[in-house]
Structure 1
């Protein structure tokens, strides 16, 4: 604001603020000499206000004609419309204040004007003064120092404080009969955005006391109005900024996926974003009409915690339309600084299922595989995949039966992704979990349930599986006493945490897997028959690798390519002898053993071909030799007579001898033909005393 400047200009005893007869006559003489003598500098005149004199000099230097018949430049309608639009807020704020003094201005012969920072008149109320214009009204005319010379409002624009000019102090002769008081309107950066002008015709000697008092009053009035306009503008801009900020916050909160609710100290909902409106089925105009307690259980501690000022996260059940849903709610109270009581509290709501999904994703508990990721061309694996796809469409529990390493979890993930890929996939190995921990892992616990328990409690795997799949691997190893509890959860679809007092509804699917004979375990009283029948509604047998025809070689090539890419190696090939081993080996560890063998070979190989020596010893040892011997002997044209059955040592000796013959005594090549390692064939040569 320019209050201090206002007071200085209105009430200081500066000689330029008082118009005496001597000073008035001195100004008239100065003006006459200035107009007649182009070399005369009015700034040397003791009666001239220095700011006014300096303006006269600038006007003369700009070549402004003080005798011009018409003053200023009139804007065309398009130009003026643009100016009005740009200054809309200034006009909106000023007009009511100007109108308040309209009748006073008319009754006293004054005209009240508003100009922008370019000297363009935007408003005019009161008396229409006789001005040198070729068309009226004055609004739409540009009167700045460059057009008409020195005026009260041009000086206010330049110097940013009020001015009062009397008669000949104006530069142009056309307005020498006008007295005017002007005050600038400043923005928050102290930049001039407009001026207010109060003017009337000069009808009395300006040195008279009544005239001096009148001038002081008019300057004070116009300055007071300008200060009022500034204050209103500041309030309006603050309101606009606040409204814009509020709209931005509203738009931001509308995009947030969390439910946001603000309640007062009594629990009344005073704000809710779009997601909260969806959760509580509220309309925007219902704010202030609903209480948060309408949606909570009677024993809920939410409002009590908020009133205590506790910033905490709790789990609550939301009841709506005879249904209930679990939400994680963060309470952020805002306390009254004076009373120390709750003012408002902001509640952030997240559905338990969403939180659980985020938790499991961060923990890496996600299903990454689909049915298309299961590699194999054998009828056995294709049959299992077909059944898996079909069963996945149902919400019933599924039991996967297969040896260790056959890919039961791969099938479980594929079934999950086929049925509910957006839900969590929670896996727990019943064999790897200590008996004393498996209960809390499955069912969760409330805070303080046992020594070492988290103070806030922890959800179990069953809760985390809400809306998704719970994969129970090695289900046969689940403790017998817990099987009954799991059965109850499956039947009632609700779970109670250890140390809890109420059940929580859960919706999930179980996929169980085992490499044991559960039917026999039921007979032996090691597995509950009712749980077995609940889990085995749909059963899929995952074939062992030895039952999958030539899938072993297909998988081996896949593992080789994948690990070569991981290590940055060029693609490797398997020698015929290694392929023979892959296809004939029993693979007791199934796909997992095959993958480990291929990783070993890729790391161990020196060239571009994987040879027998690059394979693990246990795979290229005697077990594989027996299969290879059987193949060679069965194709031997010189086999034993019918009814005779050779000993194993004879068969081995005969196979090695024949391989050496075919390889022309090359031991390494003979080993390759037999599908055995170099060390094995040398050991056999020594054992059977075979010379080569």
Structure 2
């Protein structure tokens, strides 16, 4: 109904007539004198105006107050003006054009924000005789709670243009004013401000010309509001475009800087391989200047057997290893291929190629897989002449290129020696250890030499480098070399001689440069006589030989190592270092230690966990040590005796003994510590013939 009323007003069906003016004056007097009257029932009353009168009264607006409205404080006004700067700047231009007309005709023009705070004024300043109040000062608050019913209040409320006459306005200060107002809306149709044009009528004539003038005034304020609204949208669009362009420039510059920070070559190519752009690292890889990539094609740098462009043309997201040739220098690179599609058509437009040198990838793989050497010669404990001699030889041989063979019984520290030699000669390179006896016979070839993609069933699609390839720039440690299959020995010999390796299923040799250290606990003369090891490979591996002494050959090192292992383990578990009584010391020194240093360390760990009252006694030592008496044990090989020591049964029995000791022979508590059932614990105690 409200919309229909204002549509009628805009169509000129409600004129500013004398009858309407006089009727509204009477309606106003009637309403102000009698609070029980409902203005909605008055003649000539617009329902929106009547409802606003009622709200104004409820809000406590004094219609006779000479000081109309109130001001915001200076800080708040500053914020309001700053927030509406664009609106004010655009409106000011229109107000400047309107100023001459306003000055000559007696009109006044206002701009209010959505809260009714005056932002701008143009025209005649009306002064209230009683208060001296000037209407044109910015910051005055004119909303329904301060001035009651007026044109811009209703215009904001109903989001439409409106014109009301003096008596319709709630406050008597506006009794001779005709107010024409139009809202300024944002893109979502919400009010952001209103324009108000006031006309003062001292002696209204109410003739047809004046009625037309009023209608034209409403049309003028509507046109101005529309012009401001359009101009604001244009300015915002221009600002948006400018902001987007600026954001795009910032994004582009940021992307450029980011790509240049990446230590991988990033190359963008189209479907034919034409290079579109590349980052700084890419320019370094291909030895190009930024202005020289326009006519370059990635095919110019690829091997004739390359499959790279096949994957690019097919839009495949994959990784390949390729040889890149720059100025006759061939270098292996690992290349990630990421297809680029048109976002609108989803058609393939090219690819992003990411280049990583194989040497860098191998180094990363080695670090992730723990292929690093942690021991130095300073970490090798021992004061015996035999050990000092071995350490001296290791230091001297480390700087030489020849292969080194470490021989000695199991547990003498061959891998520790190998790591120390590596850290002496090439600490920055990888340390790749291969246990030739631990690898399955059918896998050792692929583990050592690697393979190309699809070389055999189950092979990785992209192939995989072997241990020899991964050792490039570092050390290849071949432990238990005497157990290497006979059929692979000539291939290894060729690699050692030529420093080249070919993967299984490969077509090209790859250059490798590494130091070889081999280790064995076997009698090579016997192995060679039995035809299990090639004599020429043995001679090639044993150019420099270091014999690591057994623990029995190391004089007083047993005592030194005993104390070292006890202190090391106690520090690890945060326990006070226990004393070793005389009987235990004597047994430790007299024992033959067939498992060498490894067996001694394990025995000390066991003794610490079994000991009570912070003392290691004879009874704390493992049963294997306690049972040894002169002439009572067969002289088994060191390997056999070490294996007997390290059986699962012996460790399980030791674990049960420790749990029972900590639980004071409380079976349920000991079972909880071992995370097994009580029935299982009883059965194992019986199986091991243990006494409670």
TM-score range, shorter chain: 0.5 to 0.7
Structure 2 counterparts to residues 478-557 of structure 1, below 5 A? 478=484, 482=488, 485-486=491-492, 489=495, 494-506=500-512, 508-515=514-521, 526-527=533-534, 540-557=546-563
Match of 1:440 in 2: 446
Match of 2:617 in 1: 610
C-alpha displacement at 1:249, in angstroms? 8.8
Residues 84/121 of structure 1: CA separation in 2 closer, same or farther (3 Å cut): same
Residues 182/401 of structure 1: CA separation in 2 closer, same or farther (3 Å cut): same
C-alpha displacement at 1:404, in angstroms? 2.5
Q: Tell me the alpha carbon deviations over residues 415-444 of structure 1, each in whole angstroms, 9 at most, x when there is no partner.
A: 545666665432111233355433221121
Match of 2:123 in 1: 129
Structure 2 counterparts to residues 405-416 of structure 1, below 5 A? 405-416=411-422
Match of 2:461 in 1: 455
Match of 2:29 in 1: 33
SS of the equivalent of 1:617 reads helix
Residues 600/103 of structure 1: CA separation in 2 closer, same or farther (3 Å cut): closer
In 2, Cα distance between equivalents of 1:272 and 1:62: 73
Structure 2 counterparts to residues 351-430 of structure 1, below 5 A? 351-360=357-366, 363-371=369-377, 373-378=379-384, 380-381=386-387, 384-385=390-391, 399-416=405-422, 424-430=430-436
Match of 2:670 in 1: none
Residues 602/613 of structure 1: CA separation in 2 closer, same or farther (3 Å cut): closer
SS of the equivalent of 1:21 reads coil
Residues 181/527 of structure 1: CA separation in 2 closer, same or farther (3 Å cut): same
C-alpha displacement at 1:342, in angstroms? 0.7
SS of the equivalent of 1:456 reads coil
Q: Tell me the alpha carbon deviations over residues 600-631 of structure 1, each in whole angstroms, 9 at most, x when there is no partner.
A: 556776885331684343675245889xxxxx
Q: Tell me the alpha carbon deviations over residues 118-155 of structure 1, each in whole angstroms, 9 at most, x when there is no partner.
A: 4456678xxx3324489999795354425655555555
CA contact (8 A) 1:430 1:477 kept: yes
In 1, Cα distance between equivalents of 2:136 and 2:492: 90
SS of the equivalent of 2:320 reads strand
CA contact (8 A) 1:16 1:47 kept: no
Count of matched residue pairs:
608
C-alpha displacement at 1:446, in angstroms? 0.9
C-alpha displacement at 1:212, in angstroms? 3.9
In 2, Cα distance between equivalents of 1:256 and 1:46: 81
Structure 2 counterparts to residues 180-219 of structure 1, below 5 A? 180-185=181-186, 194-195=192-193, 197=195, 199=197, 201=199, 208=211, 211-212=214-215, 215=218, 218-219=221-222
Residues 457/179 of structure 1: CA separation in 2 closer, same or farther (3 Å cut): same
CA contact (8 A) 2:125 2:135 kept: no
SS of the equivalent of 2:337 reads strand
Structure 1 spans left out of the alignment, 5+ residues: 627-692
In 1, Cα distance between equivalents of 2:612 and 2:196: 100
C-alpha displacement at 1:517, in angstroms? 7.1
Match of 1:21 in 2: 16
Query: How large is the Cα RMSD of the aligned pairs?
Result: 5.6
Residues 102/36 of structure 1: CA separation in 2 closer, same or farther (3 Å cut): closer
In 2, Cα distance between equivalents of 1:282 and 1:200: 73
> Is 50-59 or 240-249 further displaced after alignment?
240-249
CA contact (8 A) 2:12 2:215 kept: no
Match of 1:226 in 2: 229
Residues 389/96 of structure 1: CA separation in 2 closer, same or farther (3 Å cut): farther
Residues 21/164 of structure 1: CA separation in 2 closer, same or farther (3 Å cut): closer
CA contact (8 A) 1:327 1:349 kept: yes
Residues 241/491 of structure 1: CA separation in 2 closer, same or farther (3 Å cut): farther
Taking structure 2 as the reference length, the TM-score comes to 0.67
C-alpha displacement at 1:180, in angstroms? 2.4
SS of the equivalent of 2:186 reads strand
